Chain A
Amino acid sequence: MTTTTAAPAATGRRAPRRQTLARRQAVWGWVFALPATLHIALWTGFPILVAMLLSLTHYDMLNPPSWAGISNYTAIANDPLFWRAMWHNLIIAAVGIPVSMLLALVLAVLLNQGVRGTGAFRTAVFLPHVTATVAIAMIWLWIYSPGQNGLLNYVGGFLGIPNQPFLNSPSQALPAVILVTIWQGLGLKTMIYLASLQTIDQQLYEAAEIDGASAVQRFRHITVPILAPTTFFILVTSIIGNFQTFDLIYVLTSGGPANSTTVVTYEIYETAFQQFRMGLASAQSVVLLVVLVVLTVLARRLTGGRDD
């Protein structure tokens, strides 16, 4: 989109003005950014530092920490369950994110057409986002219930399909969970796309229409490219958010059956507050941080780094 103006190399006469501008920008940049940055540095950054330090200790929260060196990290390397959880996260991300992003984009465009009742439609899409995750999980427990009282099996009964175990089957549970995460995350992504769509100049569409472009062509050649930065944003935040999923898994499956739906945050929670091994949990969080950084860099490559 629009680029920030680079301060060109200073030439003789104009040097003072550009330099003043650069310095002025530096000052104002910090003036605007400082309050928020300081706040986050204090309330998130500092705890993260503490967590990193704790990752080198044995800490059960009930007694002061004791030094552990890198033994927590070696323990993680030898823990197949942790990597299994990581693998599940990757699967959920690889399947869930592209699907939900595409759906969200299409949905946002549809919700932007000014159809009658658009307000109601938009609100309906946003409903899962504002409803407490615990309640959502319980409704889906009903939908997925393995007996005839579950919605899917009830409908399946009419179609002659035998009762499916869904969340009680190690093979069906993860796909079932992925479906719920897609459904739940759709509202937020759609909303962000919708907001971004508002800034696209309508004249671009009108000109294209006059030139004979179809709706699909307009979508592919105008909407998608202009929204590329937004897409990058949603991709990165979706990846990060995906790895933070906890409440849903906790109520839906508790990581089971037979650890087939456990995810990294669930393992971290287990380690921290069921096993009371906060040092190890901190180390796991650091590992997660590294993985997410790598994924974010990959995501940037994927969208061509087009975020300016």
Chain B
Amino acid sequence: MTDVLEQAEERAAVAVDEVARTPRRTASQRRRTRRLLLFVLLTVVAVVMAAPFLWMLLTAVRTPQELFAVDMPLLPREWHWENFSTALATAPFLTYARNSFVIALTHTLSNLVLASMAGYALAKIRFRGSTVVFAFVLASMMIPFYAIVIPEFLMVRHVPLAGGNNLFGQDGIGWIDSWPALLVPGLVSPFYIFLFRQFYLGTPTELMEASRLDGAGEIRIYSRIISPLIKPGMLTVALLAFESGWNNFLWPLLVTSRSEMRVIQLGLSVFRQEAGTDFNLLMAGTAMAAVPMIVLFAIFQRQFVNGMVATGIK
């Protein structure tokens, strides 16, 4: 009698167990399948986005004969890694890299400070004229660079008391061919003001008021309380500004004449001559130029982690 009961109990227990276990198994299976699908999808996307870059690398290690052969194979027959060092030696790239780095770093820092301040003010502070300032910032993004490059050049050329200029900016060459010409005009860019404003809009104004009541000064509120809340925004601007400064081309070309002042993108143009393009060296050079940016991004994107930003309201 007890045996039958026990057996029934056991069977019931097993049944219950199975029922209990089944949804969990299916749920985690579901999750795992979803993860797998996601992984596959992202891989496809990553391949589509990165394929041209990979092709660039493959091109970089080929010989010119292979590049122009009728039956060029997908993978290079021989991997000419020395193309990278050849490319480096074709022009003083280390000097160019140093210059590009200085420009990129300077513009990043200046934008992080000045553009964030302006973006903060436009987003969080009600002051007369803020609409005008915002409209002005927006409008200044809408003129193509080619239209203002000559006036800007003339301004740089006629800076008073620089480069041999007199008080009226005549008779010398101003900032032409010197660091201020490369650094000063790009210290603040309207795009980043707009972007910062966007990020700051998402921060809680109540926090600002609470801090004011606590006696915090405006600068402290800006720098210690509100700005830390938009760390992803700060990183985004930093990465974008650095990339922009790093890849600067036309302006440095116009305002510099000596090769000691030149930048990476100008250096890369040595592979594109009127007579023809050294495709493999150009690709090698471009790949190398992109590496610092890729490394920076790979490092800092780790900071983009969900929920790391608290809303800050206690």
Please list the residues of chain A having a beta carbon within 8 angstroms of any beta carbon in chain B: 1-7, 22, 24-33, 35-37, 39-41, 43-48, 50-51, 54, 61, 107, 110-132, 134-136, 138-140, 142-143, 149, 183, 186-188, 191-192, 194-199, 201-202, 229-230, 233, 236-237, 240, 243-244, 246, 264-265, 268-269, 272-273, 278, 281-282, 284-285, 288-289, 292-293, 296, 307-308
Q: Which residues 180-208 of B have a CB within 8 angstroms of A?
A: 184-185, 187-188, 190-191, 193-195, 198-199, 201-206
Q: List 12 A-B contacts (CB under 8 A).
A: A5-B205, A35-B114, A43-B152, A46-B151, A114-B306, A132-B289, A132-B290, A191-B240, A192-B195, A199-B230, A229-B198, A265-B146
Pairwise interchain contact A25-B127, C-beta atoms closer than 8 A:
yes
Cα of A153 to Cα of B146 in the assembled complex, Å: 36
Cα of A107 to Cα of B72 in the assembled complex, Å: 34
Taking CB atoms, residues of chain A closer than 8 Å to B121 are 28-33
Cα of A197 to Cα of B157 in the assembled complex, Å: 44
Q: 1/0 per residue B95-125: CB within 8 Å of A?
A: 0000000000000000000110110111111
Cα of A237 to Cα of B191 in the assembled complex, Å: 8
Asked if B161 lies at the interface with its beta carbon under 8 angstroms from chain A, I say no
Pairwise interchain contact A132-B301, C-beta atoms closer than 8 A:
no
Pairwise interchain contact B147-A285, C-beta atoms closer than 8 A:
yes
Nearest residue, chain B, Cβ from A154 = B74
Please list the residues of chain B having a beta carbon within 8 angstroms of any beta carbon in chain A: 35, 38-39, 41-43, 45-50, 52-53, 55-56, 59, 70, 72, 114-115, 117-118, 120-130, 133, 136-148, 150-152, 155, 184-185, 187-188, 190-191, 193-195, 198-199, 201-206, 209, 218, 222, 229-230, 232-233, 235-236, 239-240, 243, 247, 265, 268-269, 272, 277, 279, 282-283, 286, 289-290, 293-294, 297-298, 301-302, 304-309, 311
Nearest residue, chain B, Cβ from A33 = B121
Residue from B52, B293, B302, B308 with most neighbouring chain A CB atoms (10 Å)? B52
Nearest residue, chain B, Cβ from A36 = B118
Cα of A208 to Cα of B253 in the assembled complex, Å: 55
Cα of A118 to Cα of B233 in the assembled complex, Å: 19
In the assembled complex, the CB of A274 is this many whole angstroms from the nearest CB of chain B, namely 11
Pairwise interchain contact B52-A51, C-beta atoms closer than 8 A:
no
